[in-house]
Amino acid sequence: MTETRKLVAILAADVVGYSRLTSVDEDRTLARLRALRSDLIDPTITVHMGRVIKRTGDGALVEFRSVVDAVRCATEVQNAMVERNAGLPPDRRIEFRIGIHLGDVVEESDGDLMGEGVNIAARLEGVAQPGAICLSEDAYRQVKSRLDLKINDLGEVRLKNIIEPMRVYSLHVGIPADVKPASVPQATVAEAPAPGLALPDRPSIAVLPFQNMSDDPSQEHLADGVVEDILTALARLRWLFVIARNSSFTYKGRSVDVKQVGRELGVRYVLEGSVRRSGNRVRITGQLIDSATGTHLWADRFDGAIEDIFDLQDQVTSRVLGAIAPKLQQAEIERAAHKPPQNLDAWESFIRGLHLFSQHSDASTRKAIDMLDHAIELDPDYARAHGLRAVCLAWRVFQGWENRDTAFAAATDSVHRAFASDSDEPWAFIAQAFVSLGKRDDQAAVAALTEAVNASPNFAFAHALLGAVHAFGGRPAQAIECIERGARLSPRDIFAEEYQLFYSFAHFQAGRYAEAAAAAERAIQLRPEHPALYIMAASSYGQAGEIGKSKDMLVQLSNLVPTISAAAIAETFPYTRQDDRDRLVAGLRAGGLAG
């Protein structure tokens, strides 16, 4: 067996508490890990030119051509895991430890890597805190001038089975280096940037020209066409400030610093990418960057045949939009969360209210209404705030937390105020649909959500909610189609548990009780304080004859809504057809719900 020596960046990662997670629920843990690999870890490794050397049940060893690529890959994965673990109890979170080292390794003929360089990376991973990244001094030297993240110098650390102690640095993902820590060398502190344009009062983005990575200069039109499509789609998001093509394309053909672009154009986010053609195949990559910190928020790649280039462009546009819209909202939510309420402007108050509404609990939705009232106080004509306030009020009726007549009247008033400022406000249409559902007016609910989709074709939640309305009206096939469209537009939406609930509505209406219960259970894992999830799970289990599981769900439902009764659910649940409501209540009574 021949071998070759080379200098490479090695990344070692594993899952914190893997044995404990699998002992509690092995099937669910393994399923989550498989999903993480397929839609997060492997695509991110590929974008940053990594090569997986080997996998274990709970970890991986990855080779990169540079430490910069390895650190960027690691920070993107760790940032994504913070988002995915949000709302989960600590004992169900999947967290990674990561170690990165630049060292000499031996590559064997089968591609495997061996040697002290590999061992050091593995030992660095072992001393990392959950969610953190540990760098050796050799790795740290390669990236220290390019990082804008908080670094802790851990000093000399003795690593297991490594003879000499090593200096180790711990990288804290998601914490900007606003203040120089005492233990960080001077070189890691960036100089104060030159002043630039003021940021707009809403999220702002520039899409830079995608780089043509092909040898053929004629492929420039392909790269430009992809950017044109993305810009057109982003411009339809009215809450987003998008820099015009004529400005962003002044950077074409130039090597630019994303932070400088952000200052010069006055934007918080920058989308960049590349297009590479090889034979009849095309690969398009994209990455979203916070221009203030340099943090990568998202990255992905898209492959297709050149003869299907227009279909590929449409696919890229749809997936880029579906991925970065929720990323932008989440980044804005996290930014607003660090400011005291009295310092929030109208947009920040709205975005915090949106986040609170997405938690779907009694307390969070009350706070959401308070936050939206604050936004309206700052800007009385803020249509989105009026619309979302109406949605919150109407939604709470269906959970049993508001008086039906009073809340629907207040929601209707907010809808009118929203339309007075913007006749095409999608959240106001959604609120209209909720009020119509409360009256079991199927046609009006469909019409309102159709208006929402027409006003904002890329609004994933509106598409999915239209699916829920079709389920309530007895059209499960149309329901599934609309929900899937929403899920494709926004695969990691902040309303992800709602999509699962909508699937449950559709499966239940079609008599597929096992599928309905499974979808409700998936939603419960994401938002355990949402009452409707337990209603669907309990009734589905009751209809399927799994009475013990139905009873368990009803216990948790009663904890959330102590006054809940079968009669109240029969009165408020929005299934239009009497037969569907009767089956829903029968399933609940099978589990023992009184009233």
CATH topology of domain 3-174: Alpha-Beta Plaits (3.30.70)
Interval 296-316 mean pLDDT: 76
Q: Tell me the per-residue pLDDT of 384-394, one tens digit each, with 9 for 90 and over.
A: 999 999 999 99
Give the whole-angstrom CA distance, residue 81 versus residue 78. Answer: 5
Q: Tell me the per-residue pLDDT of 197-215, one tens digit each, with 9 for 90 and over.
A: 677 767 888 899 888 877 6
Q: Tell me the per-residue pLDDT of 36-71, one tens digit each, with 9 for 90 and over.
A: 887 788 888 887 788 898 887 778 899 988 888 898
CATH class of the domain defined by 205-335: alpha beta
Instruction: Tell me the pLDDT of the chain averaged across its residues.
Output: 83
Which residues of the chain are in CATH 1.25.40.10 domains?
395-590
Residue identified by tokens 């809808």 is 415
Which residues of the chain are in CATH 3.40.50.10610 domains?
205-335
Instruction: Supply φ then ψ for residue 564, to 5 degrees.
Output: -60, 145
For residue 8, CA distances in Å to 64, 65, 109, 448 come to 6, 6, 16, 57
Q: Tell me the per-residue pLDDT of 547-562, one tens digit each, with 9 for 90 and over.
A: 999 999 999 999 988 9
Q: Tell me the per-residue pLDDT of 475-517, one tens digit each, with 9 for 90 and over.
A: 999 999 999 988 877 766 778 889 999 999 999 999 999 999 9
Nearest-5° Cα angle at 258, 255 to 262: 130
- Residues 471, 479: contact at Cβ < 8 Å? yes
Strand duo 281-290 + 296-305: pairing: antiparallel
**The residue type at 131:** G
Task: Provide, rounded to the nearest whole percent, the portion of the chain with pLDDT above 90.
Answer: 33
Give the whole-angstrom CA distance, residue 586 versus residue 468. Answer: 21
Interval 350-370 mean pLDDT: 90
Task: Give the tokens for residue 250.
Answer: 């002044």
Q: Which carries the bigger pLDDT value, residue 332 or residue 537? A: 537
Give the whole-angstrom CA distance, residue 102 versus residue 196. Answer: 36
Strand duo 204-207 + 269-278: pairing: parallel
- The partner residues of 166 in beta bridges, in order of sequence, read 157
Threshold 0.95, pTM exceeds:
no
Instruction: Supply φ then ψ for residue 152, to 5 degrees.
Output: -110, 125
Q: Tell me the per-residue pLDDT of 424-466, one tens digit each, with 9 for 90 and over.
A: 899 999 999 999 999 999 999 999 999 999 888 778 899 999 9
Q: Tell me the per-residue pLDDT of 89-122, one tens digit each, with 9 for 90 and over.
A: 677 788 899 999 988 888 877 777 888 888 888 8
Q: Tell me the per-residue pLDDT of 130-168, one tens digit each, with 9 for 90 and over.
A: 888 999 988 888 887 666 666 788 888 878 777 778 889
Q: What is the largest CA-CA distance in the chain?
A: 79
Task: Provide, rounded to the nearest whole percent, the portion of the chain with pLDDT above 70.
Answer: 90
Classify residue 577 by its DSSP letter.
S
From the number of C-beta atoms within 10 Å of its C-beta (0-12, 13-18, 19+), residue 511 rates as exposed
DSSP codes of every residue in 28-40 = HHHHHHHHHIIII
Q: Tell me the per-residue pLDDT of 238-292, one tens digit each, with 9 for 90 and over.
A: 778 888 776 787 888 777 788 888 888 888 889 988 888 777 788 888 888 888 8
Give the whole-angstrom CA distance, residue 128 versus residue 98. Answer: 7
Q: Tell me the per-residue pLDDT of 8-34, one tens digit each, with 9 for 90 and over.
A: 899 999 998 887 787 777 777 887 888
Chain-centroid distance of CA 392 in Å reads 21
CATH class of the domain defined by 395-590: mainly alpha
